[in-house]
């Protein structure tokens, strides 16, 4: 009997040690109210899923300039380029949700899972904390062409099937999506011609190899000033504020239901504790609404717009559905699938 009692006590002690060990391991990952109160007490890393000099990188460094003023700690830019953003977002998704690793996100975050299997489904593995800028797509043509508006461009396409081609920055890119959506909405065939970069797409237009380019405003602005290029439409809800583009009507004004922009925001791993998320969200709001940051964003031709976490989440949901529907309806998804076979 005594031996049985000793055996039971030994087993209970062993079990308690195992449970205690597991508890201590788990507690090391738990952020207590006291630690949350001190947040942040060290630099915060911001993962940029594209290379140095990219739009995401430039914006992250703009955030970096004003972060210490509002959070009391510096922001450290960490470039993790590759796989159209997937490498950086994979690392962000798997990072410790302690508030010290955040990341820049853009529309590719939604495009990637729609085009195939990714390590993480980013809209569910990440949580948006802010949205702050966007880059609209525009339809540009050579200035010596006769088209003065989108309807004249479409009319020419109907009269001369197969005549029109548009350049863009790659199969499945936002530029490609807008061009195929125009083709479908207008009921005409506009042949798509992919390039590796925006500069190559614009060069093809200037050289007369294509009749149009779907591109960002900054890449054609100087050519508009020089009189070499004319923009027929912008894919935004409202006309652009930039004086160079302020007279250009939107697609919607001209009867074509197209509204697509690339956009930028900040996201974190999904499991970020509520207390940390609240402090980080408030800090990001102060950073993004800082007059210096706003001015810097607009100075490079981007549209400034702040959305809080709730608004950003709703925005992701709307954008994801729009992307999913468009790539399926325009046949882009089929093109992507055929390339992977």
Whole-number pLDDT of residue 334:
92
Q: Could you tell me if 52 and 161 lie in one domain?
A: no
> Where does the pLDDT of residue 116 fall: very low under 50, low under 70, confident under 90, or very high at 90 and above?
confident
Residue 287 sits in the same domain as residue 199: no
pLDDT of 149 above 60: yes
**Of the listed ranges 31-45, 72-86, 257-271, 289-303, the one predicted with least confidence:** 31-45
Domain count, the chain: 2
Question: What is the structure's pLDDT at 18?
Answer: 44
Domain boundary, last residue among 240, 259, 278: 259
Query: Which of 132, 214, 221 lies closest to 174 in space, CA to CA?
Result: 214
For residues 42-59, give the mean pLDDT: 95
Q: What is the layout of strands, in order, in the sheet containing 229-234? A: 191-194, 165-168, 212-215, 138-142, 229-234
Residue 198 CB contacts under 8 Å (≥ 6 apart), including other chains? 169, 215, 216, 219
pLDDT at residue 294 is higher than 90: yes
Look up the domain containing 127 and give its range: 42-135+262-329
Name the band, by pLDDT with cuts 50, 70 and 90, for residue 37. confident
Secondary structure letter of residue 168 according to DSSP: E
CB atoms closer than 10 angstroms to residue 81:
16
Strand partners, 141: 230
In the predicted structure, residue 235 carries a pLDDT above the cut 90: yes
Question: Which residue, among 46, 32, 42, has the nearest Cα to 77 in the 3D structure?
Answer: 46
Residue 283 lies in a domain: yes
One domain, residues 277 and 313: yes
Same domain? For 109 and 246 the reply is no
User: Is pLDDT of 40 > 60?
Assistant: yes
Which tops the pLDDT comparison, 300 or 205?
205
What is the Cα–Cα distance from 89 to 67, expressed in whole angstroms?
A: 22
Residue 17 lies in a domain: no
Q: Which of 259, 289, 318 is the last residue of a domain?
A: 259
pTM for the complete prediction?
A: 0.85
What's the pLDDT band for 289 if we cut at 50, 70, 90? very high
Q: Which of 221, 240, 259 corresponds to the end of one domain?
A: 259
Q: What is the pLDDT of residues 207-228, one digit of tens each?
A: 999 999 999 999 999 999 999 9
Match 């509204």 to its residue by tokens.
Answer: 259
Average pLDDT (124-129) is: 97
What is the full DSSP assignment across 210-221? SSEEEE-GGGTH
Distance linking the first and last C-alpha atoms of the chain: 70
Instruction: For the chain, give the mean pLDDT.
Output: 90
Closest CA to 222 of 147, 140, 288: 140
């Amino acid at each position: 009997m005594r031996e049985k009692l000793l055996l039971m006590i030994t087993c209970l002690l062993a079990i308690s040690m195992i449970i205690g060990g597991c508890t201590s391991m788990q507690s090391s990952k738990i952020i207590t109210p006291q630690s949350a109160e001190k947040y942040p007490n060290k630099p915060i890393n911001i993962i940029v899923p594209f290379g140095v000099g990219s739009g995401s990188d430039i914006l992250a460094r703009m955030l970096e300039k004003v972060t210490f003023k509002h959070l009391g700690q510096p922001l450290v830019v960490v470039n993790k380029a590759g796989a159209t953003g997937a490498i950086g977002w994979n690392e962000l998704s798997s990072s410790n949700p302690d508030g010290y690793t955040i990341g820049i996100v853009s529309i590719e975050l939604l495009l990637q899972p729609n085009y195939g299997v990714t390590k993480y489904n980013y809209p569910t593995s990440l949580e948006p904390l802010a949205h702050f800028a966007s880059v609209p797509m525009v339809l540009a043509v050579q200035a010596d062409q006769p088209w003065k508006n989108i309807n004249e461009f479409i009319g020419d396409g109907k009269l001369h099937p197969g005549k029109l081609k548009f350049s863009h920055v790659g199969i499945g890119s936002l530029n490609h999506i807008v061009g195929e959506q125009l083709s479908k909405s207008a009921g005409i065939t506009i042949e798509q011609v992919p390039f590796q970069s925006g500069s190559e797409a614009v060069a093809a237009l200037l050289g007369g190899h294509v009749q149009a380019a779907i591109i960002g405003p900054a890449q054609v602005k100087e050519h508009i000033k020089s009189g070499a290029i004319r923009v027929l439409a912008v894919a935004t809800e409202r006309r652009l504020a930039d004086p160079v583009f302020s007279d250009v009507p939107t697609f919607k004004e001209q009867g074509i239901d197209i509204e697509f922009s690339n956009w930028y925001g900040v996201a974190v791993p999904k499991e970020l504790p509520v207390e940390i998320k609240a402090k980080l969200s408030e800090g990001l709001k102060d950073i993004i609404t800082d007059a210096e940051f706003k001015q810097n964003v607009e100075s490079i031709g981007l549209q400034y717009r702040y959305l809080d976490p709730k608004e950003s989440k709703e925005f992701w949901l709307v954008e994801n559905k729009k992307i999913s529907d468009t790539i399926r309806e325009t046949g882009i998804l089929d093109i992507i699938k055929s390339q992977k076979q």
